[in-house]
Every structure is written in structure tokens, then in C-alpha cells.
Structure 1
């Protein structure tokens, strides 16, 4: 069979395959952390409730060199889940914590001057350290406030500090390390 005859015979199958691929992708919307219909809190647990302000106001998006890429994904929710799980493990029995994430600046930054092939790559430099700002309200079993107020988690030496190193392509590695350090300090046994 000639190559042109093969392509002519295969054309309907290729068109069908392409149409099916488009149909499958059409039902899968791209995640956008600034979506106004997206939830702004996690389902509460008896011990820990986590919510967050509108990510459109977060430093990571306002100061980004590539705002479109910064908005992609579900990274705010992923980080909130990590906060909730970490605090739940460390919180003494009978206590409750209510946490509102008010700002996030992720580690790294987009540097568009490297060219279009690097537009969607976060470059890690010591000037792009991670920072998370949150509000905490910690209460005992009777509802009395034990601790509260704003907490600013940051690590300007994030590239040189820490015991463990990123494993492969671990998402939000440096931000999770900030949370781990804070949880250790904040919820240490009194």
C-alpha cells in the first residue's frame, strides 16, 4: 500500500481520535486558584479549621512575572490541606485551632527574560524566598483562647537551610518546610 493511500484510509480514524481527545479535554477545566466559585476553606475537623483569603490578593500572584502561570493549579488548597494535617497531628487533645491563610509568596519566581521556553519555570534564587502569613486562633476544650494573632512564616535562607532536600519534583516543598518549622515551634509541649 502506498503511503498516500494509507493516510487517506486512516484519515477518518485520526479525525475520530482527535475529536475524542478534544471531547475528553473539554470536560476537564484548568484549575485557577483565583476562581471566584472555588471554595475558600477546607471541610472542618473537630480540631482544625483552615480557610484562606482570596488568592488574587496573594503576593505570589500580585508580584509575579507570569501571573497566568502563578494562578494555575490548586496549590492554595494543597497547602491548606498540609497545614490542616500538620496542625492536627501536633495539637494537644482537647484543643482547637482556627487558621486563616492571608498571604502566600511561594519560593522562586518566573524570569521571562530567559525566553519563551522558560516562561513556565520557577527559578529558585535566594532573593525569592517563601513566605506565608496567617491568622491563628487556638482555644482549649472550654473555648478559652490560648493563643492568637498573626504569624508570618518565612525563610530567607531557604536554599541553604533545612535538613532534608527536595525529593524529585515535590510540590510546595519549601512552603511545607515553613509549615513544619512553624508547627514545631507553635505547638511544642508547654
Structure 2
């Protein structure tokens, strides 16, 4: 095998591998769109006590919320339907208590007084873009610590629990009439 042929084979293998990697990483467009409107102004997305502008918290908490809603919402939609959810405020369960000392700056304290709150609007459309259902919701869970669903180590288990309840209640499958 001459050098030119070896270089061509190497390039082709490299391009094939890159194409396969790109194809594996690209996912089909979700029918659920999640928008975070001015997240820097949200009540609470702080990653620690010094994250006063929610910058690190946005990077940590918003992608999992978006991914959760995309996954859970897809299963609730009829073919052709699209759902857009626009968050205007998020207040996570728990809070930081800086008076406990610097060793607690990265510890979110979960107490019944620090309830999770989510404020958002939503719009459900059909395949033709006609609005089927829309509204605004302000979710809060005063008994969030009593939840037994969710993954214990998930820092968003309370918020995901509220969103899962909302999706189940808001988008119940249509009952077939006989």
C-alpha cells in the first residue's frame, strides 16, 4: 500500500468515525420546548451562598429541568401536538443559611419553610399550529418533604415531582368513548 492510499484510508476512517459520532449525538427535535425567560432574575437558582446572580446555578439546574420536561412531556402529547413551557420564576426547595459559617456555603438546607415554587406559562398546539390549551401556572408544594417519588440523590427531585404531577394532571390522555 502506498503512502497516498494509506492517507486516503485514514482520512475516510476518520470522517466516518466523526460522522457516526455526530449522528449519535444529534437527537430528533423534541415536540416540547422549554424557555427560561430572564433566568438571571429568578428568585433562586443559586449553586451556593455566593452565587447571588444565579449564574452557576443556571448552568447546573436549567438543563436537567429542560431535559426532564422534554422526556416526560413527549409521552403526554398526541401525534402532531407541540408544547411550549415558558418559565418566569423558579424558587428551588431549600435555601442557604450563611450564618451557619463558611463550611456551609455550598450546602442547601432543606426545611419546610423553604418550599419549592415554579411559575410558568404553557401553550399546547396541534399539528396546524392552532392553540388547543394554554395558561399560566404557579406551582408550590408545601408538603414537598413528604414525597416518596423521585431519586433521593437528585437535587431537583422536588421540582421534578411537582412538574411530573402537573403534566399528569394537565395532559391526561383522552378516554376513548364506546
Cα distance, 1:51 vs structure 2: 1.3
Separation of aligned partners in 1, 2:130 and 2:94: 39
Mapped to 2, the partners of 1:71 and 1:188 lie a distance apart of: 35
Structure 2 CA distance for partners of 1:151 and 1:67, relative to 1, 3 Å: farther
Contact kept, 8 Å, 1:61 with 1:67, in 2: the verdict is: no
Q: How far apart are 1:181 and its partner, in Å?
A: 0.5
Question: Paired residue for 1:30?
Answer: none
Q: Is the 8 A contact 1:65 1:112 kept in 2?
A: no
Change (3 A) 1:82 1:46: closer
Residue 96 of structure 2 corresponds to: 110
Matched, 1:83 2:66: no
5+ residue gaps, structure 2, are: 1-26
Per the TM alignment, residue 141 of structure 1 is displaced from its structure 2 partner at its CA by: 2.0
Runs of 4+ more than 3 Å apart: none
TM-score, normalized by length of structure 1? Answer: 0.68
Query: For structure 1, which runs of at least 5 residues remain unmatched after alignment?
Result: 1-42
Is the Cα–Cα contact under 8 Å of residues 91 and 117 in structure 2 kept in the other structure?
A: yes
CA distance in 2, matches of 1:44, 1:101: 23
Q: Aligned pair 1:58/2:39, yes or no?
A: no
Which residue is 1:68 aligned to?
51
The equivalent position to 1:123 in structure 2, one of 109, 126, 129, is 109
* Structure-2 residue corresponding to 1:182: 166
Q: 1:96 to 1:150 in 2, by over 3 A?
A: same
Quick one: distance in 2 between partners of 1:51 and 1:185? 21
Tell me which residue corresponds to 2:15: none
Counterparts of 1:22-61 in structure 2, within 5 Å, are 45=29, 47-60=31-44
8 A Cα contact 2:48 2:108, kept in partner: no
Q: Whole-Å Cα distance in 1 between the matches of residues 173 and 61 of structure 2?
A: 30
User: Aligned to 2:145, what secondary structure does the other structure show?
Assistant: coil
- TM-score scaled by structure 2? 0.72
